């Protein structure tokens, strides 16, 4: 048995005891797979926990389904990041989806996920899925007015991923969306990562007309409180429409009642957004 600690801030860490540890060096980062008693297998990239077998559904459902439910007819979906495959799996639960593009910069993350996380990566080789091993920032430059929904399943805004949280990048996202297009991004913890959260929301608001922020619980993420920001220029994403779609898909976290109260966020989060 070994103890692994993710240092979520300079002063806060999450420690998990692992039965086994596997380390893989990719071209871009250090990939660690922990086999734990409490969370099952855990995927760690450069020291930061990305997903676990036990709580991944909480994150992936909240990231993917609100945007796909709010869009009247989502057919083409792009996921930037998300090499573990969880967002792909959730997107394919929507019967209107005909095509899912996954843009992941590190191919090794996909290989590791397919080997060690089969329940999460199970749909990566689905006929509707096409995988691109590319930088998401450059990928969008070649695809204009193409996607109905774009999902930003990126890692923390540090190093190569930093550009994915800036106004210039969100403008590329907007240009790649079709009419009535919707984008959604994970925007960090509003409790332990206030500056990352505020900056991401601010940059998105510069680009899109309608913007909504919602939160969810993910036990292994900083403070357990995670934020998501959804945006569109044509659809008022703050309206909770098409809720009956949720009855057509299998979920464990998000249901109609939670969807109806999606934007009921804590007062301190509202204050952060309005600063």
- 9: domain CATH number? 2.30.140.10
Supply the range of the domain harboring residue 182: 56-274
Tallying the residues shown for the chain, one arrives at 275
One domain for residues 40 and 175: no
Q: Which of residues 68 and 143 earns the better pLDDT score?
A: 68
One domain for residues 165 and 229: yes
| Whole-number average pLDDT of the chain | 95
Mean pLDDT value across residues 205-217: 98
One domain for residues 46 and 62: no
One domain for residues 69 and 47: no
- Alpha-carbon distance of 231 to 201, in angstroms, equals 10
For residue 209, which of 183, 188, 187 has the smallest C-alpha distance? 183
Mean pLDDT value across residues 30-50: 97
Pairing mode, if any, of strands 13-25 and 2-7?
A: antiparallel
Mean pLDDT value across residues 1-24: 96
The sheet that has 48-52: what strands, in order across it? 2-7, 13-25, 30-36, 40-45, 48-52
Reading phi first (left if > 0) and then psi (alpha if -120 to 50, else beta), residue 47 is in left
Q: Could you tell me the pLDDT band of residue 158, with boundaries at 50, 70 and 90?
A: low
For residue 203, which of 150, 163, 153 has the smallest C-alpha distance? 163
One domain for residues 237 and 255: yes
Pair of tokens at residue 134: 């590319």
> Is the pLDDT assigned to residue 150 strictly greater than 80?
yes
One domain for residues 22 and 138: no
Percentage of the chain surpassing pLDDT 90? 91
- Alpha-carbon distance of 228 to 221, in angstroms, equals 13
Mean pLDDT value across residues 179-192: 96
Mean pLDDT value across residues 58-62: 98
Kindly name the residue from 135, 153, 234, 255 that is annotated as catalytic: 153
* Cβ(161)–Cβ(202) below 8 Å: no
Pair of tokens at residue 91: 């997107």
The angle subtended at Cα 217 by Cα 1 and Cα 129, nearest 5°, is: 85
- Alpha-carbon distance of 50 to 106, in angstroms, equals 14
**C-alpha dist (Å) from residue 14 to 10, 144, 247:** 12, 41, 35
For residue 44, which of 1, 90, 7 has the smallest C-alpha distance? 7
One domain for residues 249 and 194: yes
One domain for residues 21 and 75: no
Mean pLDDT value across residues 75-96: 98
Give me the number of domains the chain comprises: 2
Give residue 159's pLDDT: 56
Least confident of 6-10, 19-23, 59-63, 160-164: 160-164
CB hemisphere CA count around 32 (13 angstroms):
15
One domain for residues 15 and 70: no
> Is the pLDDT assigned to residue 146 strictly greater than 90?
yes
DSSP element (H, E) containing 197: helix 194-205
Kindly write down the DSSP assignment for every residue of 86-127, as one continuous string. HHHHHHTTSTT--EEEEE-S-HHHHHHHHHH-HHHHTTTT-T
- 140: domain CATH number? 3.40.50.150
One domain for residues 103 and 208: yes
> Is the pLDDT assigned to residue 161 strictly greater than 70?
no
One domain for residues 236 and 266: yes
> Is the pLDDT assigned to residue 160 strictly greater than 70?
no
Give residue 151's pLDDT: 98
One domain for residues 20 and 62: no
Annotated active-site residue 153? The verdict is yes
> Is the pLDDT assigned to residue 137 strictly greater than 90?
no
């Amino acid at each position: 048995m070994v103890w692994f600690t993710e240092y979520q801030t300079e002063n806060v860490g999450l420690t998990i005891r692992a039965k086994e540890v596997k380390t893989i060096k990719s071209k871009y980062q250090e990939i660690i797979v922990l086999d734990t008693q409490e969370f099952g297998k855990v995927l760690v990239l450069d020291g930061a926990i990305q997903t676990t077998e036990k709580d991944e559904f909480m994150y992936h459902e909240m990231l993917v389904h609100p945007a796909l439910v709010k869009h009247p007819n989502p057919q083409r979906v792009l996921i930037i990041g998300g090499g573990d495959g969880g967002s792909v799996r959730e997107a394919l639960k929507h019967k209107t989806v005909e095509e899912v593009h996954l843009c992941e910069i590190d191919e090794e993350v996909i290989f590791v996920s397919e080997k060690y996380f089969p329940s999460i990566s199970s749909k990566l080789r689905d006929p509707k899925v096409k995988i691109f091993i590319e930088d998401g920032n450059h990928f969008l430059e070649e695809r204009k007015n193409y996607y109905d929904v774009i999902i930003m399943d990126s890692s923390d805004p540090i190093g190569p991923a930093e550009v994915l949280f800036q106004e210039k990048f969100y403008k590329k996202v907007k240009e790649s969306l079709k009419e009535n297009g919707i984008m959604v991004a994970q925007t960090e913890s509003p409790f332990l990562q206030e500056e990352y959260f505020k900056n991401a929301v601010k940059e998105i608001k510069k680009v899109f007309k309608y913007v909504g922020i919602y939160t969810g619980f993910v036990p292994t993420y900083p403070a357990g409180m995670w934020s998501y920001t959804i945006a569109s220029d044509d659809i008022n994403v703050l309206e909770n429409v098409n809720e009956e779609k949720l009855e057509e898909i299998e979920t464990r976290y998000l249901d109609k009642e939670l969807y109806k109260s999606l934007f009921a966020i804590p007062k301190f989060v509202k204050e952060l957004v309005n600063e």
